[in-house]
Structure 1
């Protein structure tokens, strides 16, 4: 159940949240908010895959 929840959440994140890799964002120059979004997407993706 938990894994399917994170899979749905990952799809929602993909639609709603911006993709910084497509924008070629430099992590050293990223703001705290951008780093928080990157961290959240990473957390959800690893939970959905694992």
Structure 2
């Protein structure tokens, strides 16, 4: 589930660079996804 969310956010992030619409929101969501990923890696799930 988390990998799907991270993949979708990465896709939107790349699209955001190409189109430059809502770039700040996309970057914020990417940072949140990265934090969630790191927390899951630390917890060992």
- Of structures 1 and 2, the one scoring higher in RCO (CA 8 A, sep 6+) is 1
**TM-score, normalised relative to structure 2:** 0.49
